[in-house]
Structure 1
Amino acid sequence: MRLATIRIDGGTRAARVDGDHAVLLPAPDVGALLADPSWPALTGGPRLPVAELDLAPVVPRPSQIFCVGLNYRAHIIEMGRQVPATPTLFAKFPAGLLGARDPLVLPSVSDRVDWEVELAVVVGRPLRRGTAAEAAAAIAGYTVLNDVSMRDWQVHSSQWLPGKAFEASTPVGPWLTTVDEVGDEPDLEVRCEVDGEVMQRARTGDLLFGPAETMAYVSRFTTLRPGDLIATGTPGGVGNARDPKVFLRPGQVLRTSIEGLGECVNECVKETG
């Protein structure tokens, strides 16, 4: 099953994507839908063509967004870091999320905007100090995310937060694909393209810390709730590690795709005002 949050009538609605059409569901967004344990049995309303949907971030207002840095060996090597013994975590905020077709505004205060394709996990039920098996059972599904990073801000200090938390900088979508379609620990191709040129390509089977292991670790210090997001890390090929370095420019198209989950396509535009 695929679940999306769409913008409609001045607000948002959850929808179930069935082929070329989406069926509106009685919830304002996917996060609110997952918070209702009876959501799989909810019946749908009007049908809309998928091609005409205005896609919001699949979960517009998660209570928590955790991201894993340094989780693919190739990316660890290209960044000159040591292999971590536990997940390297940082946080994002709901204001940082962007829809799958929204323009990506390149902030005027940064000239080093970089790409990072990532598999994102959507939490489906509360999890507190869970085992890996309990964490796997708490996964609602997966979606596509690009942890767009302002590298010049990321290195202002040893804490990465400033470069990772810019508003409206993280495309996530186009929808959630439920875990029954892809498995607890999926092995999927992840790819990032800029103007059609492949910049990153890897498989999620190469993650050092898989989705369930990461969720279990996070749940040891905080309760995960339905709709929370966990971005599992990016593979090698980021612009900051290239020689010479390469960063996003206005007019370019950033395409973030994961096998079987769909893609985000975001045009880069210059910030004005």
Structure 2
Amino acid sequence: MTESNPLTRLREIMARLRDPEHGCAWDRAQTAASIVPHTLEEAYELADAVARDAGDAASTAELREELGDLLFQVVFQARIAEEAGRFDLDDVARGIADKLVRRHPHVFAGHAFGDDAEREAAWEDDKAASREQRGHASAMDDIPLALPALARAVKTQRRAARDGFDWDDAGPVVDKIHEEMAEVSVAVAEGVDPDAVAEEVGDVLFAVSNWARHLGVDPEGALRGSTRKFEARYRRMEALAAAEGQSLDALGFDAQERLYQRARRQLRGESDEPEDPQA
């Protein structure tokens, strides 16, 4: 195998794994569709490594490894396509390079945009032209169904906003959230079927993701952060309960809530003593 070029070596390894006679049975059995779940998993693991990156040697090694795992998924897909005579990894790299150059004329062609809005408009025009070339009639046609729900919601909202279907600011979005929450309460009070309640809850989440978009916040990342924060607090709750010789699941909710507030204060570096409401 070639040792001088790491990418060449990786491609040769992939070809060997897929070899009909001497390759790996599992790798040979895979299709473009069957490895998609693995690709998504690797992407999430990379996102997690980035979120937990502390800049130290261990984090650097983990980040590098996760990037390699995701790169392998690209090489895997390209190899499957190459075997079918469709395209290879060079075509993939050439295509993305051409697209980046085309979408950055201010960097590669000396074009000057008046402001960020003009640059963004040109970017979106190029993407719209690409969608049209692929035969997509609607702005919603090529939004991946496999995207996480919050990310997909924001993407659909951005597409609609490009056509002018959007509020000018975040104020009306907040009103919409309250409206949708009231509809959930009505559905629950009227005892409608669970599917109808789920639909109303979905409307609330869609409105909240729209609010986040107007505020310039990525709701997917924000929710991941809040979930990590809750996880850290819950782990601290478990430790606090164990230090007192108790099992967290054996405590009542009020006792659990007191531990949660202690955990929250500790992790924020605040005093472990509860605030005096009379102070």
TM-score (norm 1): 0.21
**Higher strand proportion, which one?**
1
Asked which structure has the greater RCO (Cα within 8 Å, sep 6+), the reply is 1
**Higher helix proportion, which one?**
2
TM-score (norm 2): 0.21
Give 1 or 2 for the bigger CA radius of gyration.
2
